[in-house]
């Protein structure tokens, strides 16, 4: 793997204490950061402009449900294929190509909308193509991160990414809301295409090699299978993935925030918005907090500590009955989750060889997305059966048990040290 590049006239890595902003000292990481931030803003604009167009055109909530089915159908194979590709071809060019596809799709839909030629089937086709392309960016970008910073700064880079992605998840909807309300959806399509430009250009300015060294040259299916067995046999990753999956399945509250706002706090849309904003703000603060744990060596225990905080916060969220207290609790949930994400991503990068990183990340993302989907079903069902508050308390109980179980069973996680 090529040596990460840093700006000249900087102190040597071992001569100074690590600072939270040190990842930005490295030129290649700055370009990779621009890629990730712009890609996430692009993702949210694409989601919102296409779903808004469909709802205004058809007036059907069912159409929005179909969007989820279409995305799920294309994202799983795209994710696995993207992970295999990122371990075989130049990751920088893969990211640029995927974002170019998103640009072309959004630009085409914007031009068709401007001429009143955009149709429902075309929008669904655009969603399918762009969702698949955007899903291929994630494994390649994550696998490229260790090449852009020294190992000592890797968790700083991952934590910075986590905070930035949450910030972009706020910026994207705000940009869409302003543009769509002032200029209309046609312009929103065009703005989405414009945001894709830095997302596709920035990776081309990265100097380190984008192609992984070593690895097999078999078929795509064989390479995906190889990546799967690598993850399964890994001493740490299965435990981390199961911990995240278990906690997420029993507590995935984002999709039912309206029901939680009304059931717990007797609040309407304003309460839903406040809870969602607090969760995102907490996630940003949690990722920033993770920056200060970059030199805390017991990273495995840090995941377990953060998971336990998450579990206890679920109890609090399900037990309070005032909106401001719920805002505090859901912010803690977002913060604790961000810490676990930062450490989990760093662990994958450090304990996986370069030629396997894309596939390892694709399985990690697949695990998280599957947990999100199952969690939406689980939480929705139990909220209807026993109420939103009891559902969160039940999730807290199970999350505590899952955390204790992983702590007890997965000794390598307890003993994992970095740096």
Domain boundaries, the chain: 19-205, 220-415
Which residues make Cβ contacts (< 8 Å) with residue 127, sequence separation at least 6?
Answer: 46, 50, 67, 70, 71
CB 413 within 8 A of CB 304: yes
Per the CB < 8 A criterion, the answer to whether 417 and 351 are in contact is no
CA gap 52, 19 in Å, rounded: 42
Q: How far is CA 80 from CA 25, 34, 36, 76, 363, in A?
A: 32, 24, 19, 6, 7
In angstroms, the CA 48 to CA 173 distance is 7
Residues 6+ apart with CB under 8 A from 163: 283, 284, 287, 288, 338
pLDDT score for 115: 95
E-assigned strand segments in 92-210? none
The total number of residues shown for the chain amounts to 419
CA neighbor of 359 nearest in space, from 90, 83, 129: 83
Decide if 19-205 and 220-415 have a common fold.
yes
d(CA 398, CA 250): 7
90 token code pair: 């130049």
Joined together, the tokens standing for residue 254 give: 């984002």
In contact, 72 and 82? CB cutoff 8 Å:
no
pLDDT score at 116:
93
pLDDT score recorded for residue 268: 78
Torsion of CA 77, 79, 81, 83, to 10 degrees: -160
In degrees, rounded to 5, the angle at the alpha carbon of residue 43 between the alpha carbons of residues 38 and 48 is: 130
Question: Residue 209 phi/psi, 5° resolution?
Answer: -60, 140
CATH number of 220-415: 1.20.1250.20
- Per-residue tokens: 54: 């469909």
Tokens, residue 205: 């300015």
Q: What is the pLDDT of residue 8?
A: 41
Residue 49 CB partners (closer than 8 Å, separation 6+): 106, 176, 180, 185, 188, 189, 192
* Region 19-205: CATH code: 1.20.1250.20
- In angstroms, the CA 313 to CA 113 distance is 45
| Chain-centre distance for alpha carbon 269 | 25
pLDDT tens, position by position, for the chain (419 residues)? 444 444 443 444 455 677 778 889 999 999 999 999 999 999 989 988 998 898 888 887 677 778 878 877 888 899 999 999 999 889 999 999 999 999 999 999 999 999 999 999 999 999 999 999 988 888 999 999 999 999 888 888 998 998 898 899 888 888 998 999 899 999 999 999 999 999 999 999 999 988 887 666 778 889 899 999 999 999 999 999 999 998 988 888 776 777 788 888 888 767 887 888 888 889 999 988 888 888 788 989 999 999 999 999 999 999 998 999 999 999 999 999 999 999 988 899 889 999 899 999 999 988 888 888 788 778 888 888 888 889 999 999 999 999 999 999 999 999 998 87
Residue 77 and residue 337: Cα distance in Å, rounded? 26
Rg (Cα) of the chain, in Å, rounded? 21
Helical ranges in 87-219 per DSSP H: 91-114, 120-148, 154-183, 185-201
Beta carbons of 95 and 137 less than 8 angstroms apart: yes
- DSSP code, position 235: S
pLDDT at 15: 52
- In which residue are the tokens 């679920």 written? 314
Look at residue 274 and give its three-state secondary structure: helix
- Which two tokens mark 349? 């990068």
């Amino acid at each position: 793997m090529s040596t990460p590049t840093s700006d000249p006239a900087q102190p040597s890595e071992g001569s100074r204490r690590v600072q939270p902003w040190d990842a930005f000292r490295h030129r290649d990481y700055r370009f990779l950061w621009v890629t990730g931030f712009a890609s996430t803003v692009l993702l949210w604009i694409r989601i919102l402009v296409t779903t808004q167009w469909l709802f205004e055109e058809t007036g059907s909530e069912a159409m929005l449900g179909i969007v989820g089915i279409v995305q799920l159908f294309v994202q799983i194979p795209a994710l696995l294929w993207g992970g295999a590709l990122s371990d075989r071809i130049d990751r920088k060019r893969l990211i640029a190509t995927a974002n170019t596809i998103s640009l072309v799709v959004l630009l085409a839909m914007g031009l068709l909308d401007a001429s009143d030629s955009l149709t429902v089937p075309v929008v669904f086709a655009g969603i399918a193509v762009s969702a698949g392309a955007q899903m291929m960016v994630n494994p390649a970008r994550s696998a490229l991160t260790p090449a852009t910073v020294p190992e000592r700064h890797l968790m700083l880079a991952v934590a910075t990414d986590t905070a930035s992605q949450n910030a972009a998840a706020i910026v994207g909807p705000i940009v869409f809301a302003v543009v769509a309300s002032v200029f209309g959806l046609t312009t929103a399509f065009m703005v989405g295409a414009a945001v894709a430009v830095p997302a596709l250009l920035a990776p081309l300015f990265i100097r380190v090699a984008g192609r992984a060294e070593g690895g097999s040259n078999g078929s795509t299916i064989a390479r995906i299978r190889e990546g799967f067995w690598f993850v399964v046999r890994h001493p740490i990753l299965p435990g981390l993935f199961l911990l995240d999956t278990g906690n997420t399945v029993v507590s995935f509250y984002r999709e039912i925030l309206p029901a939680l706002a009304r059931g717990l706090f007797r609040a309407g849309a304003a309460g839903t918005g406040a809870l969602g904003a607090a969760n995102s703000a907490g996630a940003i603060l949690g990722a920033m907090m993770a920056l200060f744990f970059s030199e805390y060596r017991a990273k495995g225990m840090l995941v377990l500590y953060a998971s336990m905080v998450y579990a206890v916060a679920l109890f609090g969220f399900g037990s309070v009955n005032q909106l401001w207290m719920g805002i505090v609790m859901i912010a803690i949930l977002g913060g604790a989750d961000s810490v676990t994400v930062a450490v989990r991503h760093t662990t994958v990068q450090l304990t996986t060889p370069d030629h396997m990183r894309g596939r390892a990340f694709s399985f990690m993302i697949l695990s998280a997305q599957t947990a999100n989907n199952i969690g939406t079903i689980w939480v929705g069902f139990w909220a209807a059966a026993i109420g939103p508050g009891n559902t969160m308390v039940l999730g807290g109980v199970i999350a505590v048990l899952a955390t204790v179980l992983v702590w007890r069973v997965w000794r390598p996680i307890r003993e994992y040290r970095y740096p």
